[in-house]
Structure 1
Amino acid sequence: MINTIVTTDRKNHSDSLKLAQMAAERLGIKLVKRNREPMENLREMYGVDNVLVAKRGSFTLDTPEGELFFHPNMSQLRIKNIRMGEGDHMANALDLQEGMTVLDCTLGFGADSIVASFVVGEGGQVIGLEASPLIAFITSEGMKKFLATNYELHSAIKRVQVINADYNEYLQTLPDNSVDVVYFDPMFRHPLRDSHNINPLRSVADHRPLELTAVNEAKRVARHRVVMKENSRSLEFARLGFNEIAGGKHSKVHYGVIRL
């Protein structure tokens, strides 16, 4: 059960209403009239934490901690850096090459998947799994409608396949050696102090830690590498058998690598 309702912007445009109706059907949540009500009032009236708002052809999730909506964020700058030959720590850790198939088990709003999609190119494939129905919905719809400023970013976004699924279950359905790379970016066990901008995401994200059973499944499924992103000081790397650590020397984020 998703603790969320869906409504429109204050002006109740007909296009926004159609979007809200589609979201209500897809997510199985209640559609309510906005009537210019503030978000705090709607949350109290309907006893929910979150309000999904359809407006101007897109969706925003209003949470008590702030708003969530799809945007490529840092992926645009990271792609620019790659094009200029400066590289990318995640792409290097995954050892991405053109034509590879990447399974991103923790999609979120897709920044890492977008970068991976750019690197593997049109001949490659990036599948993004997201356990939260709300995040998967907002990301999927946002990727469909986002108008990128350049062809490379536009193409990279459109090639990402979004699936609402729990990676623990999804990995078990895949044949041995069926993708090149499996990537995990779970919610950090010890969040970085300066990462306040993702606080709204924390309220609806999957907080379960990555378990060794999933890592073993990933090793069975991947042909090339299994990679996990975590706080650079995290003990999760050792606990889960990621003995090779990659990333910037002074970076607060590192990547655990298992070569296959």
Structure 2
Amino acid sequence: MTMGITTIRNVTRPVKEEAWARAEALGLPYFRREGTLDDMMTAFRLEGLLVYGKDLPYYYGGGGEYHYHFGTSVLRKGQMEQGHEDRLCRLLPHKEDLTVLDATFGQGGDSLTMSWFLGDRGHVTALEKSTALWEIGQAAIDSYEDSKEEGLTRALRRITLIHEDFRTFLEKAKPKSFDVIYFDPMFKAPVKRRENNMEGFRKAAAYDSLTEEILGLAQRTAAMRIIVKERPFSRLFSTGLFHFVDRRKGQSTAYGVMDV
């Protein structure tokens, strides 16, 4: 992806200096803000821009923006507080100090929900290959706050986010170094794409495929369980690798569970 860094209009000198410093740290070109973001993308032949301002950085992909937010984690936490089970969290083994590797951080909703659910009983480490999503996610972990959701804010602070793709990470990971490994790869056929306003996010995301080879590496690295979120008709669920698949009528996603 050809991506650059710029700022919002009329920014202070500290913001410009921060954007410049992040460009150097990430190895991305810095462009002084001139005109619209679309004009800049055309002029410099870019596919996207990380934009810095007084708030968290966001991604602009031409026709769509992605800003970090708690999203459905607020609803999921509320449901659990009312005594309802969360489809993903209910699949986590009951163990003190449970270590979870979320191999596909993305918007961070699953990492955040699991971190809140585990509390002090465990820890979530997450991987993100996309430079844009890693930068936005790490900035959120460092400083995003929601005064109405102090519990989720604390859970966000507890997440460890690593800028790396899951294949590279798993190839060098120590055997049995995480209790649970979770995958939620980007769907090529997205769920409610327009309704969920996902264009900006999808343009920033990485689309690495989850293969049987990757699952083999995960089996070596996981001590207890591998969980995969996919469409119910995913071919991975017909490989015979999974001990069971949680499919539910009317749900557009399913969870495959492999115990190791």
Give the TM-score of the pair, scaled to structure 1: 0.92
The aligned runs of 1:25-36 (5 Å cut-off) are: 25-35=24-34
> Counterparts of 1:138 and 1:255 in 2: how far apart (Å)?
27
Match in the other structure for 2:229: 229
Question: Percent of aligned pairs with the same residue?
Answer: 28
- SS of the counterpart of 1:58? coil
Structure 1 residues 138-190: Cα deviation after superposition (integer angstroms, max 9, x where no partner): 11112211112233111110011110111111112222221110000011243
**Which runs of structure 2 are paired with 1:72-151 in the superposition (5 Å)?**
72-95=70-93, 97-148=95-146, 149-151=148-150
User: Separation in 2 of the partners of 1:240 and 1:59?
Assistant: 43
Cα RMSD, aligned residues only: 1.8
CA change 1:207–1:174 in 2 (3 A) is same
Distance 2:47 2:243 in 1: 40
Once structures 1 and 2 are overlaid, which stretch shifts more, 206-215 or 195-204? 195-204
Q: Where does 1:1-260 land on structure 2 (aligned, <5 Å)?
A: 2-35=1-34, 37-95=35-93, 97-148=95-146, 149-192=148-191, 194-196=192-194, 197-239=197-239, 241-260=241-260
The 2-side partners of 1:167 and 1:202 are apart by 18
Following superposition, the deviation at residue 200 of structure 1 comes to 2.1
Compared CA separation, residues 133 and 240, structure 1 to 2 (3 A): farther
* SS of match in other structure, 1:121: helix
Q: CA deviation at 1:247?
A: 4.8
- How far has the Cα of 1:74 moved from its partner? 0.7
**Alpha-carbon separation, structure 1, partners of 2:240 and 2:60:** 35
In the TM superposition, what whole-angstrom CA distance separates every residue of 1:110-145 from its partner, at most 9, and x where no partner exists?
Answer: 110001111221241111001111111111112211
Closer, same or farther in 2 for the Cα pair 1:63/1:140, shift >3 Å? same
Kept in 1, the 8 Å contact 2:73–2:110? The answer is yes
Number of aligned residue pairs: give it: 257
Q: Are the structure 2 counterparts of residues 25 and 244 from structure 1 closer, same or farther at C-alpha, using a change threshold of 3 Å?
A: same
| Shift of residue 75, structure 1, vs aligned partner | 0.9
1:189·1:209 contact (CA, 8 Å) conserved in 2?
no
Letter matched to residue 175 of structure 2: D
Segments of 5+ residues of structure 1 without an aligned counterpart are none
Unaligned runs of 5+ in 2: none
TM normalised by structure 2 equals 0.92
